[in-house]
Amino acid sequence: MNLLEIRDLHASVDGREILKGVSLAIRPGEVHAIMGPNGSGKSTLANIVAGRPGYAATAGEVLYRGTDLLALAPEERAREGVFLAFQYPVEIPGVNNLYFLKAALNAIRKHRGEDELDALDFLERVQRKAGLVKMDESFFKRPVNEGFSGGEKKRNEILQMTVLEPQLAVLDETDSGLDIDALKVVADGVNALRGPERGFLVITHYQRLLDYIVPDHVHVLVDGRIVRSGGAGLALELEAQGYGDFGRAGGASRAGA
């Protein structure tokens, strides 16, 4: 069974059609990359999969392990194993980073019928993962993302991903604005989680990230449609040629800001 299957997905935001029939299937164990110019609909696709209010499918369907994903509330998707690494992680003053992560993990564990982790077991687990994303423990005690640099926010997303261990992780331009060290951290986080049961949808504007996360499939999204799919080599080809050959190359990214 496919982990994620998107069939002829159409979506509008603020009355404007952004996705114009996207189809895509991710099998367990696969990493798919979606590349495309700004404004092509990449972030809309990510937000629809995660269930962001205001992003609704107008036609088509999204199946997650064979069930209708779009019928689920965002938290239900998360508990079922869907994770979105945000393009713009949200700052939440007054909510402790670690406390939030523990509440999230326990909500997911509860849904799975597992016992909640106590404070010590949880801390041990986070410390292990934090080492992986080279995140200083001082970030644990700070409010979620508040005052974090761009790179720190993205590391925090990857920390959350590695702690929550989703079945399907969607990375929405997680590489944007990152230096090479931070980029490697993101890649290490993804590669550490890669396994026969898990799938990834890596959305990126640049090929650079895909040097470190080598995808099984690459899709080119232009103006709301997948115009070409191929193997990892397609990313290199795009890097050399740009998106110009696929038509519209301009536009501004609007998602989630």
Partner 1 sequence: MATPLNPLPLDAWREAFEAFLELPAEGRADEDARRAAFERFAALGFPTRRLEGWRFTDLAPLRGTVFEPGAGDRPLDAAWLAPLVDGPRLVFVNGRHAPWLSQLEGLPAGARLEAVPALPVGFDGDDALAALHAAFVEDEARLVLAPGVALERPLHLLLLSVGDGTLATPRVVLELGEGAAATVVEEHRGQGAYWSNPQASIRLRAGARLTHVALQDEAPEASHTARLAVRLARDARLALARVWLGGRLARADLALALDGEGAEATLEGLSLVGDGQTADHHVDLRHAVAHGSSRQTFRAVLSGAARSVFDGTIRVEPGAQKTDAQQQARNLLLSRRAVANTQPRLEIFADDVKCGHGATVGALDDDALFYLRSRGLGEAEARAMLVRAFAAEFVDVLADAGLVGIVRRLEARLAAFLDREGRP
Q: What is the DSSP code string of 74-94? A: HHHHHHTTEEEE-SSPPPEEE
Phi-psi region of 18 (alpha: psi -120 to 50; beta: other; left: phi over 0): alpha
Does 214 interact with partner 1 (rule: CB under 8 A)? no
Whether residue 192 contacts residue 209, with contact meaning beta carbons closer than 8 Å, is answered with no
For partner 1, the closer of residues 166 and 215 by Cβ is 166
Query: Which segment (95-103, 182-190, 191-199, 203-211) binds partner 1 by CB under 8 A?
Result: 95-103
Does 69 interact with partner 1 (rule: CB under 8 A)? no
Question: Binding residue for partner 1 (CB under 8 A) from 25, 63, 104, 132?
Answer: 104
Cα separation, 79 vs 109, in Å, equals 8
Does 164 interact with partner 1 (rule: CB under 8 A)? yes
Q: Alpha helices of the chain — where are they, by DSSP H?
A: 42-50, 74-79, 97-111, 119-132, 150-164, 180-193, 233-241
For partner 1, the closer of residues 108 and 183 by Cβ is 108
For partner 1, the closer of residues 83 and 200 by Cβ is 83
**Which residues here bind partner 1, judged by CB under 8 A?**
50-53, 73-75, 77-79, 83-84, 86, 89-90, 92-95, 100-101, 103-105, 107-108, 111, 143-144, 160, 164, 256
